[in-house]
Structure 1
Amino acid sequence: MSDSEDDRPLKAKSKDTISKADDAAMDKQLPSNGHVEPGISMAMGPVEEMDVDKPTTNGTSSSKRKASRANGKSYKEASDSDDDVPLQKKRKTKVAESDDEDDVPLVKKMAKPIKATAAQMGEESDDDVPLGQQLQKEKAVIEEAATKEAQALRRQDKVADAKRKAKKKAASDDDDDDDVPLAKKKKAPVKKEGGAKKVKKEESDDDVPLSRKAPAKKTAGKAKKEETATPAKKGKAKVKKEEKTAEDEEAEAEEEDYRWWEDPTKGDGTIKWRTLEHNGVVFPPDYEPLPKNVKMLYDGTPVDLHPEAEELAYAFGSMLNSTHNVENPTFVKNFMDDFRKMLDSTGHAKDRDGNKVKITKFEKCDFQPIFNHVDAERQAKKALPAAEKKKLKAEKDEAEAPYMYCMWDGRKQKVGNFRVEPPGLFRGRGEHPKTGRFKKRVLPEQITINIGKEAMVPKPPEGHKWKEVKHDQEGTWLAMWQENINNAYKYVMLAANSDVKGQSDFKKFEKARELKKHIDSIRADYQRELKSEVMAERQRATAVYLIDQFALRAGNEKGEDEADTVGCCSLKFEHVTLRPPQTVIFDFLGKDSIRFYNEVTVDLQVFKNLKIFKREPKKEGDEIFDRLTTSSLNKHLSNYMTGLTAKVFRTYNASWTMSNLLKDMKSTGTIPERVKDYNDANRKVAILCNHKRTVAAGHDAQMEKMEDRINGLRYQQYRLKQQMLDLEPKLKKKRGEAYFALPEGIDDEWVKEYQAARVEEERQKIRKKFEKENEKLVAEGQKEMKTKELDERLKVADEMEAMFKEERKKKKKIEAEGKAPTVEKLEQSLEKLDTRIATMRTQAEDRDNNKEVALGTSKINYIDPRLTVVFSKKFNVPIERFFSKTLREKFDWAIKSVDEDWEF
């Protein structure tokens, strides 16, 4: 990317300066009343009607952005939101991972404008106060606290500098007192204060950089509390000792002892490793041609294809169930372009008589036979006995074991993505223009290996050779190649829980902490420059304002063949709509081709500036910030602090906001209630930092299921109460008829459906247990149980069904169940159900509040994980409730490095 403005093709360009006359004229166009507090995003969704500036068309531009070089980076944000995890799985100790809904294109998800409610902010509703003002007050308080913190930190730095100078001077003076007798040197006057000896204070750590400050040592009590905060999971299978070598155990022990975040010598230099050994990469298996009876049809005729062409047909046919892709015109067009090229190079298709068949039209292609074959294989694999699946997995793990770890500076480290991606059709995210293109098979000749000079270079597959072998000690990659879709470079790196990866995250959040010292100066400067006469300065100030206040990404320039994704610096005329008095509507393709639509309230000066940046002769396709580039913006920011870039603001704002919320938090109640308190705080961060999402299509159905589960518990309470009447009929008069009636919202039809579901659930449970026991018998070399045994066990479900049927038919009393039932025992069961219902209602409310907020985005990528650990330890909530197993490995450094008193 070039910083030169002349290199950037524009149809119209802003003037170099803004005259006072132009400024005054623009002021007259703005309304003097109707002022709204700025800085808050009010909605995220398409707007039906609005009074907008003209000419404008909301939506994404069809034009592409030219640049001197293509952006070869490929990246994807992780998400571990657990919003889609079934409630019954959430209750288990083990926290399962789930894909975040951010992967679903916003275009597909949007239906109507989203209004953030007071409940979603974790606050009580206040109808008299507009939501924007409620949020603005809170945001203003947080920003004021940031200003005070920055000033305090700079004062501490000044004191630290003075101390260092004093120490340096004292050290030089000490060099001159060698002639003083030792006895006199030792004696020093002890000052007394209030009749007591004044003890020399410990040296302050204020002069220690934020990244060097070690956490306070834990007391025995706190250590004990930490142990209880994350209880060990019961029933978790342990790896047998004999399966580990002595070397493995030694390496694991060393891993636990090595706390790199407390080692100030690590990560300072450019050399990342001294010695590096690994075994290379794992290649996907070669393509196996389809059986002779499975063929693609063209115009109704079965055709034979060259194996390379058949591989493309197989790739498309295997994903016919993914209608989102195969019914996408762009996906289909790109696939057919690559398919035709392959057919041209391989001699096209042939019919059963050997005659050449030229495939030209997609409409005549029938991939259904391929899909049927692939689907049958999938089902057969699913139906394999558990013992067989376990055996296949063990074989795979054994084959891949040599590639899973490397030796990095003599330490055993886990490798992350050591498998080379198999060929297939590129899907992309959002509206990627290359979706459907064929990802070619990666050969060893394309792969560069990075390894130590003294290490043995891994052998490539037979008949092949590596592209190159490097010894790049400044690189943290083990292997690298270039893929053919976006020409992006793919790297084999260490796993998320490795030292190197952990250090990268650590530095990212430490840099955000360092920004605390400078944020007030940066905000003061851009507020001043918002009125600058120099156009470049005013554009830069406006961009920094948008990045700081609304978490816009800076944006990079794209090549002609890349997705038309933009950020703040690359916004075009049609991406911004202005609605007086202070509303700005953004509508563009953001990161990963996901549509970004946001309606925000800005400062009047910012609104005026955007009006100036969009004025004639600018039109669609012209850039708004035409005198600003991402590199020049970051270069300007680096003047405040080394390494400061636009993206650091997102991390700082999220972490600083969460830190302030935690300081005043008093979380009590059950663990689910405390988890909800954390989510409420996370939700505030997500809304204040604009990490939002539209409501998922399946949200209402999920809420209905949760309500059904709650009703199921309420019905169980009804049955218990009826059993109490069976034991003691006089209770009806004593407690009243209403106490024993069917709960509100539950009728006879609902009861019938519920009972049928309970019976079917019991049958499935019995069948699964029977199959599991049979598999165990086979594995031990014993005979399977016969189906008669299963029929006998299923009688329990049949009896349950008959009991329910009899109850509905005769409307008779429900008889007390269990051994020696008493009213007291039944009341205890009622209380337990009350607790379960309250827990489920809390979780349902939490899920409903989260429907419009991407909590995973904030928690994983922008909130310092040490803050989540602080909450976990401070309020005694297992860390598993916030981080999945993968995230606990990724943030192992955060979990081990802080106590509940740590501050961001």
Structure 2
Amino acid sequence: MSADISMSSDEDTPLAPRPGPSKPNGHAAANGNGNGRVDSDSLMSDDDDLPLVCSLIYVSPRASLICLQLDLITNLQSQTTRTKSEPMTPEVRSRKRKQAPVYSSSSDDDTPLASTPLRATKAKSTAVRMPGAMKATTLPASAVNGNGRAKKAVKVEESDYEEDTPQPKKRPVKAQRPPPKKRVKKEESDVGSEDETPIVKKTAPKKRKAKQQEQEAKAESSGDEQPLKAKKAPAKRAKKEETNGVAPKSKKGKAKKEDSEEPAKKSKKKKEEEEEKEIFRWWENQDPNGDGSIKWNTLEHNGVYFPPPYEALPKNVRMKYNGKPIDLPPESEEVAGFYAALLETEHAQDKTFNSNFFKDFLEILKEHPPVDGMKIEEFAKCDFRPIFEYFEDEKAKKKALSAAEKKELKAAKDKLEAPYTHCVLDGRKEKVGNFRVEPPGLFRGRGDHPKKGALKLRVRPEDITINIGEGLPTPQPNVPGQWKKVIHDQTVTWLANWTENVNGNYKYVFLAAGSSIKGQSDMSKFEKARELKSYVDVIRKDYTADLKTKVMKDRQRATAMYFIDRLALRAGNEKGDDEADTVGCCSLRCEHVTLEPPNYLIFDFLGKDSIRYYNRVPVDEQVFKNIKLFKENKNDDDDLFDRVDTAPLNKHLASYMKGLTAKVFRTYNASITFQEQLDQGTPEKGTVQEKLNAYNHANRMVAILCNHQRAVPKTHEQSMGKMREKLRAFKYERMKLRHALFANDAKFKKNKKYSQDESDLDDDAIAEHEENHRAKEIEKAEKKFQKDNEKLAAEGKSPQPESVLKDKLKDIEAEFKKLKKERGTGKHELKRERATEKIEDAIDKLEEKIKTFKLQMEDREAGKEVALGTSKINYLDPRITAAWCKKHEVPIEKIFSKTLLAKFPWAMEVDDGWKF
């Protein structure tokens, strides 16, 4: 578990106003687990700590991929009209508004609005220019006006503005909220249909099924409107079909054994079936939105799992000061170990990190000074390498353990944690998410965080508040101590919380992503974004009219809404002095936006998690004029929108639709863009891999829109090298099959399909490939021999003699000597003789495999600078993916991991025609 994860979810927290210069962060949550802001050690990969690559240029041999990307950028700017063509369902009705009046007069529109007091000076942005980014992020001018056509330049003249004095005008009528949807009883036959349910339900016996149908008929006749309860799968398994009472035979004529599965596989299958039975289908049984008050009736759990206490280092392992070993007490030695573990990382080279660490280390040394009385005063004289080398040795020892030993250690760890992995919520067993308490360590932060390197203290039971059901036994901590407080709050969904000492943030323990409570929250979020489709045209019409209003506050708000809608910017909030200098839309400073006539704006700032946002984008003429006005008589470090805060902005948005905030726009724009890209780019008759490439391309376009970028992974080139080696192996295999075909019948040499040699396979490449393959085969044989002997020893049997391994190695050597003789002959003798037709079929299958693998390589290369996981987890409605997979016959397991399938079970039951 990450040591720096802020477990308080930003999703349900209202954004605070900003009356002063020091306020909390208001950025939207975009981390992998949905629990709020994430620091570097909570990333999905180590690569996100690298400097951000400013922009993305995708190089692909297929021209269609580039065309799709250009189409996307056009679509991103034309969202104003895209929902008009979509069919409206009965429950989603469009709302009409009166058109807002547009003010115009004879004065110059470039006259600045009345000056306003400047805010306190802030630190300048740490963003730097990136060569080539401007060109890469340029958008076509045709995308400016939202309908794909270039706008004509129209000069708008207005009278002098009266500061914050609204002019008489009729406000558009608010869009009425749609009436509450009636609960429609679901047909019993639909509940268990294979098309809608990822879990295959077992068929009930005929008598029971007839009885159920009779009960359903009675219920329908009585007009019962109660929601259906999830059916329990029958205990008995359905019998396997038999063909004329004779078991099917294999190719060799031997009857297949029905019970050929190993006991381990049977137990695993049985466990999966039990888990399927335990799934609580909350989306069928209750209102996913809830009533906003009571979240549960009973809640029982065992608290949280504390990390084990610190174990002192061996006596011969000591840090040095000024070249001399120091005898530290355990409390100080533990902190020295935190730094030693990071000695070879980028953190140890950072001045801020080192300064904060040494400051806290000295505080610990005051309380727990060295036993030998030596005084530590200078960081430069500290030598942590002896501890680092000890840690490296321990890592190597752990890595060298046998598979059985590693399995035994894991089993022991799982046994200790088992009581904390699940809780009982309203009588149901639910999985707990982050049940482990963060261990002590050094805070790493994201980007240029001013507190990186600070000491995170050990959390003890006295720091933690537990939330359980009233009248239930209080859980006991697994370490000495008593809980800070035990409460029984049914209006919250967290099980425990505490305050971390570095930033003073609350940390929460919630249920796992696949729990009913989390699922309801996710479903509600995406339904809210989908509901916005009915209001977005009215909202856009209003803020477009307000771009010319004579009230400075309203004009700034309209311009900010334009950026939030068109560019998917986060709302943003002011930061305190002790937080990283990251901004969002409402907290942009003049230095972050550069004007480039005639109508281009260049955005350059650090967004959430210190990820750089750089974009050169064409905007409406009036927006360009507004930014010019807002920057008049201001310094670079002054606020661009000095009259706009997130709280009033969200309140204004809520006047259109209940619960609407700036965050909902981000989810809506991501999902609607994703849906459009899939509809446009998915080949109807393509292969599964071609469809997957289209899916990933659409996902990349959303990631670019939401600025989910990353630096190229450190292991990318190594990974691509391995893929190139694998591709060469496929080509080598194809070559050998061709040569075997020629050996069978020389006439195939004149066939164009087989006559052409494989690319990238000259004599040197063939020799290198065979030598590498030989080494791998030898290593594989040695590992198998060792594993088989371990298995025999565990069963109490005698191990195989060394002669078995020697014989196997002799066979490998003989095979590769034969391959060496065949080089340059154009012929190959297969290990097992095959008919010519069989060889031709094998070549065809191999060619298809090569084609698919090349597509995978293209997809990997295209996505090296984009983080696809964040949008898939937090911003893309999972029902889009589920419906797309069903429509195009793509296994959803190729897109969603087991974690995501567990997180979104409610989304798997949509039909193939569902649209966002």
Same fold (TM over 0.5): yes
**Residues in 1 aligned to 2:399 and 2:195: alpha-carbon distance in whole angstroms:** 45
Q: Which blocks of at least 5 consecutive residues in structure 2 are unaligned?
A: 1-13, 35-41, 97-176, 203-260
* Aligned equivalent of 1:559, options 576, 599, 604: 576
Please tell me whether the aligned partners of residues 30 and 874 of structure 2 are also in contact (alpha carbons under 8 angstroms): no
- Describe how 1:595-674 pairs up with structure 2 within 5 A: 595-616=612-633, 618-662=634-678, 667-674=684-691
**What is residue 282 of structure 2 aligned with on the other side?**
259
Other-structure match for 1:299: 322
Could you say which residue in structure 2 is the equivalent of 1:769? Answer: 784
Check conservation: 2:600, 2:619, Cα contact below 8 A: yes
Change (3 A) 1:209 1:694: farther
State the partner residue of 2:452. Answer: 435
Residue in structure 1 matched with residue 559 of structure 2 by the alignment: 542
Aligned to 1:327: 349
- Counterpart residue identity of residue 32, structure 2: A
Call closer, same or farther: CA 1:799–1:862 in 2, change over 3 Å: same
Deviations 1:334-371 (A, max 9, x none): 21111122112222x35xxx3x3222223222222112
Q: What letter corresponds to residue 464 of structure 1 in structure 2?
A: G
Alignment partner of 1:745 is 2:763? no
Q: What amino acid maps onto 2:307 in structure 1? A: P
Q: How far apart are residue 79 of structure 1 and its match?
A: 8.1
Partner of 2:771 in structure 1? 756
Q: Secondary structure at the match of 2:429?
A: strand
Select 1:828's aligned residue among 833, 841, 846.
Answer: 841
Q: Which residue does 1:591 correspond to in 2?
A: 608
Rounded to whole Å, the distance in 1 between the matches of 2:722 and 2:16 is: 55
Secondary structure at the counterpart of residue 145 of structure 1: coil
Partner amino acid for 1:891?
F
The answer (yes or no) to whether the contact 1:448–1:467 under 8 Å persists in 2 is yes
Match of 1:22 in 2: none
Query: What is the CA distance between 1:885 and its match in structure 2?
Result: 0.8
Which of 474, 477, 482 is residue 499 of structure 2 equivalent to? 482
The CA RMSD over aligned residues, in Å, is 3.6
Q: Per the alignment, in what secondary structure is the counterpart of residue 575 of structure 2?
A: coil
State the alpha-carbon separation in 2 of the partners of residues 645 and 152 from structure 1.
Answer: 24
The answer for the alignment partner of 1:280 in structure 2 is 303
Q: CA deviation at 1:743?
A: 2.3
What is residue 167 of structure 1 aligned with on the other side?
none
- Compute the displacement of 1:745 (Å): 3.1
Aligned to 1:104: 48
Larger mean CA deviation between 134-143 and 421-430 belongs to: 134-143
How far has the Cα of 1:708 moved from its partner?
3.3
* 1:509 aligned partner: 526
d(CA) in 1 for partners of 2:289, 2:81: 35
CA distance in 1, matches of 2:91, 2:762: 67
Equivalence for 1:898: 910
- Distance, in Å, in 1 between the alignment partners of 2:801 and 2:321 is 48
Q: How many angstroms apart in 2 are the aligned matches of 1:120 and 1:464?
A: 63
Aligned to 2:313: 290
Shift of 1:573: 1.9
The question of whether the paired residues in 1 share the 8 Å contact of 2:317 and 2:386 is answered with yes
C-alpha distance 675-269 of structure 1, shift in aligned 2 (>3 A): same
- Whether the 8 Å CA contact 2:55–2:614 is kept in 1: the answer is no
How far apart, CA to CA, are the structure 1 residues paired with 2:589 and 2:701? 30
* Matched residue SS, 1:796: helix
- Counterpart of 1:452 in structure 2 is 469
The within-5 A match list for 1:71-90 is 71=25, 77-78=31-32
- Indicate the residue corresponding to 1:144 in structure 2: 81
Give the direction of change, closer, same or farther, for the CA distance of 1:675–1:463 in structure 2 (3 Å limit). Answer: closer
User: Deviation at 1:848?
Assistant: 2.9
Contact preservation (8 Å) 1:870, 1:898: yes
SS at match of 1:357: coil
CA contact (8 A) 2:289 2:524 kept: no
SS at match of 2:864: helix
Report the alpha carbon displacement of residue 420 of structure 1 after superposing the two structures with TM: 0.5
User: 3-state DSSP class of the match of 1:632?
Assistant: helix
Q: Which amino acid aligns with 1:779?
A: A
Q: Secondary structure at the match of 2:332?
A: helix
> Match of 2:598, SS?
coil
2:797 match: 782
The C-alpha deviation readout for 1:47-102, integer Å capped at 9, x for no partner, is xxxxxxxxxxxxxxxxxxx22x545999661189xxxxxxxxxxxxxxxxx97569
Shift in CA distance, 239/280, structure 1 to aligned 2, threshold 3 Å? farther
Measured after TM superposition, the shift of residue 308 of structure 1 is 1.0
Q: 1:745 to 1:101 in 2, by over 3 A?
A: same
Aligned residues: 757
* Aligned position for 1:838: 851
Identity %: 47
Q: Would the aligned equivalents of 2:421 and 2:435 in 1 still touch at CA under 8 Å?
A: yes
Change (3 A) 1:779 1:796: same
1:223 aligns with 2:194: yes
Which structure: greater helix fraction?
Answer: 1
Task: Give the secondary structure class of the aligned counterpart of 1:464.
Answer: coil
Residues 212, 264 of structure 1: 8 Å contact kept: no
Q: Is the 8 A contact 2:27 2:608 kept in 1?
A: no
Shift of 1:280: 0.5
Q: Which amino acid aligns with 1:314?
A: G
- The two structures have a TM-score, normalised by structure 1, of 0.77
Q: For the Cα contact (< 8 Å) 1:102–1:854, is it kept in 2?
A: no
CA distance in 1, matches of 2:524, 2:781: 53
Matching residue of 1:271: 294
Task: Determine helix, strand or coil for the equivalent of 2:504.
Answer: coil
- The SS at the match of 1:596 is strand
Letter in 2 for 1:620: D
Is the CA contact 1:120–1:680 (under 8 Å) kept in the aligned structure 2? Answer: no
- Partner residue, 1:374: 391
**Partners in 1 of 2:16 and 2:832 — Cα distance?**
82
Question: Using the alignment, how far apart are the partners of 1:285 and 1:861 within structure 2?
Answer: 33
1:394 corresponding residue in structure 2: 411
The answer as to whether partners of 1:150 and 1:517 remain within 8 angstroms in 2 is no
Return the offset for 1:767.
2.0
- State the SS of the aligned residue for 2:550: coil
TM-score relative to the length of structure 2: 0.76
Amino acid at match of 1:104: D
State yes or no: 1:884 paired with 2:897: yes
Quickly say closer, same or farther: Cα 1:787–1:836, change in 2 above 3 A. Answer: same
- For the residue of structure 2 that corresponds to 1:626, the secondary structure is coil
Q: 1:368 to 1:210 in 2, by over 3 A?
A: farther
Per-residue Cα deviation, 1:195-244 (whole angstroms, up to 9, x for no partner):
xxxxxxxxxxx97646967888876996369679999xx99955849998
8 A Cα contact 1:121 1:684, kept in partner: no
For 1:395, the aligned partner's letter is A
1:685/1:668 CA distance change after superposition, 3 Å: farther
Q: Could you tell which deviates more after superposition, 260-269 or 491-500?
A: 260-269
Change beyond 3 A, Cα 1:217–1:240: closer
Partner of 1:817: 830
Give me the whole-angstrom Cα distance separating, in 1, the residues matched to 2:65 and 2:857. 17
Within 2, Cα distance between the matches of 1:229 and 1:532? Answer: 59
